[in-house]
Amino acid sequence: MTRLRGGFVVLALLLCMVGWADAADLSGTWRGSMNGQPAELVLRADGSGSFNGQGLSWQVFAGSLLLEQGGEVMAYSYSQQGNRMTVSGGDLGAPVQLERGGKAGKAAPAPAAQARASAGVRPELAGRWCYVSSFSANAGGGSQSSRCFELRPDGSYRYQSEGSMSAYAPGVWGGTTSSSSDSGRWTANAVSITANSVNGGSTTYPLELRNHPKTRDPMICLDGDCYVTQYQKPSW
């Protein structure tokens, strides 16, 4: 396992600000197997992501894929050919083959018959749900992102995403911020949720209900990311 600290992390953050567009080509949902078990790596163009449902931050630096979870940064070698990627090094005992199955945050549409079955407003899903990811470098700086959506009982929704990144080093400072929002109508059935945006787009996501492993707060999991309730709700 390779752990990067201090100046290495700051340098990676600075280069990330300059050349993030190059790294965005890796964005998507990558699936494969690891030690005989299914593996899913979600990489978003804004630097957030998840591995098997656990949130992380990512970036590309000097030909390596850097993944940050819980304040630890691990570096992996990777090679990409279109929608196929091989990841090795870091804490992996053997190279892992992954295939991109769709852009992160957008799941493949459910079959029409399944999407229509019992679709409607599910009152138990109404509320405000958030996913928060943060990373701090020992030498200063870091990144933070949050994505929240509110599902209203009347079938309307509102989505908001905010992110920031900063880096500090002797004589050097840099930072970026970003935000986006959306609204529209939503419906859900037992296995999926569909968002119909006011901008004209419609996206269906696989839906899974889980409880937070520590607090037991209910979570809505969409495409590998779990959003925790911001209201007081009983466990699922």
CATH number for the domain spanning 46: value is 2.40.128.50
Of 77, 100, 123, the position where a domain reaches its end is: 100
In this structure, how many other beta carbons lie within 10 angstroms of the beta carbon of residue 70? 8
Among 63, 64, 37, 35, CA closest to 52: 37
Structural domain range at position 176: 112-229
pLDDT tens sequence across 141-199: 667 888 999 999 999 999 999 887 766 656 656 667 888 899 999 999 988 999 999 99
| 91, 169: one domain | no
Residue 207, judged by CB atoms within 10 A of its CB (0-12, 13-18, 19+), counts as: buried
Phi, psi of 101 (to 5 degrees): -105, 5
Q: What is the pTM of this model?
A: 0.50
Return mean pLDDT, the chain.
78
| 94, 22: one domain | yes
| 92, 188: one domain | no
**Is 152 part of a structural domain of the chain?**
yes
Containing 113, the helix (H) or strand (E) segment is helix 112-116
pLDDT tens sequence across 73-108: 888 889 988 899 999 888 887 888 999 984 443 444
pLDDT tens sequence across 132-142: 877 666 656 66
Cβ atoms 101, 31 nearer than 8 A = yes
**Is 149 part of a structural domain of the chain?**
yes
pLDDT of residue 139: 59
pLDDT tens sequence across 18-61: 344 445 588 889 998 877 788 889 998 888 988 888 888 888 87
Cβ atoms 34, 27 nearer than 8 A = no
Residues 102-118 have a mean pLDDT of 45
- Dihedral sign, CA of 70, 71, 76, 80? positive
| 85, 138: one domain | no
Residues 10-24 have a mean pLDDT of 43
Our count of domains for the chain comes to 2
| 129, 75: one domain | no
